[in-house]
Chains A and B, each alone.
Chain A
Amino acid sequence: MDFRLTDDQREVQDVTRRLARTEFLPQAPRWDQEQDAYPAEAVAKLAELGYLGMSVPEEYGGLGYDAVSYVVVIEELAYASAALAILVAVHNTVGAWPIVRFGSEAQKKALLPRLAAGEVGCFSLSEPDAGSDVASLTATARREGDHYVLNGSKNWVTNGAHASIFNVFAKTDSAAGGHGITGFVVEAGTSGLDLGKHEDKMGLRSSDTVSLSLSDLRVPASARLGEEGMGMKIALAALDAGRIGVAAQAVGVAQAALDQAVAYARVRRAFGKLLSDHGPVQTMLAEMERRIVGARLLMYRAAWLRDQGRPFTEAAALAKLYATESATYVTHRAIQVHGGYGYVKEYPVERLYRDARVFEIYEGTSEIQRLVIAREMLKRAETIEAPAREAVASADNVGKRLV
């Protein structure tokens, strides 16, 4: 048992930290505050350094990073800018990775080198009336000879405004519920793929979020991702991986908020002493710190399990739930430590607070994570034979001690 990063992973962390804190961190307030700002230069820089190919194998032009290195990168990017981190995370985990895992050889050869080189990928599953309840989505894909024709409305497409490649999910069999969903890889600019409104959001303001309308969108059958009916499996697998990325984002933002709070507490005086010498402030800082460390370890564990090729659905849900709730808590307390200054844009903590708020919502709400976790707990409990010692709590045998 050794929870430390390997030397290679540590190297990735050092390099990315330096890049993110010198080049991106100073720009984060501007990206946040300018209307429709898009960190194009940062994306170009990240592409040049290979970060847009983290999940793409080397044979297709990517870096072929393991999942632990990946979360290390996302955490460091999020420390500087959560909006930039989600752009890179979505691109890698739900943009490129489904093609790596489920794509045909032809799709991989055609698409992965482009994604690794800096064309942005995105993922379109949610609809106005179908979010967590994936099986109820209503977009359709009708087979017509060598093509499919897609129709429907899509929402919450992160990276949608700048993406070249869209992973779109629609129903090929409306009667089959979740088993009737199929994935498609659609090129930007295809006739019938229309970008809708650009959402004006509370946080992550320089990350673009668009709606899509699919109007008789014709794609060749060769654009189908996996088999017909595999879409839900692909989407859920992508989201499992995506959740570790969101956990990493949350850890990065929370660490940034804690560092701000500590720095402030060490210089600001009240009642004749530093804030850091006031018990109630110490209490807040300690509670912030312990959550971040716990979240980071859960995140590493989920990523490590994924790298071992072992089941990691529950581990990813645990990591996302704990990390995102921690980010909510930590960014809230970071403002509290700053007092009134925390509420003004001159200090970064109000941005961190706004950015963090979505972490408990996207790629599966906290409620969905708890549902996933509870189901795994109940499944495990079924496999454990109830020990004889237990007096089962039911009307007919309570009080009958079995020991």
Chain B
Amino acid sequence: MAGLIRLIIIGGILLTIVYVALSFYSRAVRRGKLEADWNVQGRPGNMKDFVDNGLKEYEGSLRRKLILLVYVVPISVVGTIVYLTNYS
């Protein structure tokens, strides 16, 4: 049991680092795109409001939720290996 707990803790820490880093990176990319969009659309109103609105939309988007695959994929891989090694 101790081995499983160790795997969960170490794996959890590593994946969380990846998750947080990816989240910040993805948000920064989105911000850059929104700023470019604002220019292309003929600078409608205040840039800060435009970008903040876009980022709020991004918060609820599927793209944002896809980052959760950072957790889902490794857990599925481990589950698959456990099955293949022990039950087939």
Determine if chain A interacts with chain B. Answer: no
Residues of A within 8 A of B (CB): none
